[in-house]
Amino acid sequence: MTTVTSATTTASTAATTTVVEEESTSVISSDFETFLTMLTVQLQNQDPMNPIESSDYAVQIATFSGVEQQVQTNDLLRSLASQMGVMSMSQIAGWVGMEARTEAPVYFDGTPITLAPSPDRSADQAFLIVRDASGAVVQTTEVSTTSDYLEWAGVDDNGDPFASGNYSFELENFAYDEYLSTSTVEAYGHIFEARADGANTVLVMESGAEVNAEDISALREPT
């Protein structure tokens, strides 16, 4: 499905680029003919006793040439931007099936979830807060303030697994038993779909959450 979307986008972009180029060429040609007509009329109606200096004609021609070049440059930039957009979509489509690290809720199916907490630098104590899809807190666990990653096993204090569903994570930071801050914890989740949304590329996670591609902080192969 993603490949078809990419191919369709490529064909559409190519067609649009061709139309823009043809329109621009037509406009430039029309403007050049108008310029020549105006120049001819100017020559025919100049004062014989005070003819226009040749340098003035040179300035006019140079000005028109500069405008023409600018139009062509703008067309080229638009074409490149369109091509880069298609390339970006094509590359990001390859992310489908991989695991992305985001702040979005993650779907839990019994498999441990890798978390990337970022404790406050001043914190000497941190607590992982786990919320279910309704936003209710289902678990609070003290975690290390020095670990870059940790695995959330998805089991309660009795060792029983939590129900399958979406979960989100926060980190409460403390220093000398004083509350400092609460920060969102990034987690690895599976990418289910990639699609274009205007100028943005949106990734749909297995949890159903939609994330802009630019908000992905890391990628990895499924574990």
Instruction: Give residue 139's pLDDT.
Output: 97
Tokens of 26: 């037509």
DSSP letter string, 86-131? HHHHHHHHTTTTSEEEESS-EEESSS-EEEE----TT-SEEEEEEE
Instruction: Give residue 200's pLDDT.
Output: 78
Instruction: Give residue 8's pLDDT.
Output: 35
Q: Which domain holds residue 15?
A: 2-93
How many CB atoms are located within 10 Å of the residue 149 CB?
11
How many CB atoms are located within 10 Å of the residue 19 CB?
10
Q: Which of 52-56, 99-103, 110-114, 123-127 has the lowest mean pLDDT?
A: 52-56
The residue among 53, 78, 93 that closes a domain is: 93
Instruction: Give residue 7's pLDDT.
Output: 34
* Predicted TM-score (pTM) above 0.85: no
Instruction: Report the pLDDT averaged over residues 74-89.
Output: 57
Please give the residue that has the higher pLDDT: either 198 or 117: 117
Same domain membership, residue 153 and residue 46: no
Q: Helix or strand or coil: residue 220?
A: strand
Same domain membership, residue 210 and residue 123: yes
Same domain membership, residue 29 and residue 110: no
pLDDT band at 47 (very low <50, low <70, confident <90, very high): low
Same domain membership, residue 82 and residue 64: yes
Q: Helix or strand or coil: residue 10?
A: helix
b/e code 162-187 from CB counts within 10 Å (16+ = b): beeebbbbbbbbbbeeeebeebebbb
Same domain membership, residue 8 and residue 115: no
Same domain membership, residue 89 and residue 132: no
Q: What CATH number is attached to the domain comprising 127?
A: 2.60.40.4070
Instruction: Report the pLDDT averaged over residues 55-69.
Output: 64
pLDDT digits (tens, 9 = 90+) for 137-193: 999 999 999 888 999 999 998 999 999 999 999 999 999 999 999 999 999 999 999
pLDDT digits (tens, 9 = 90+) for 193-205: 988 777 778 899 9
pLDDT digits (tens, 9 = 90+) for 2-24: 333 333 333 344 444 444 445 54
The residue among 93, 114, 146 that closes a domain is: 93
Same domain membership, residue 105 and residue 200: yes
Q: How many residues does the chain have?
A: 223
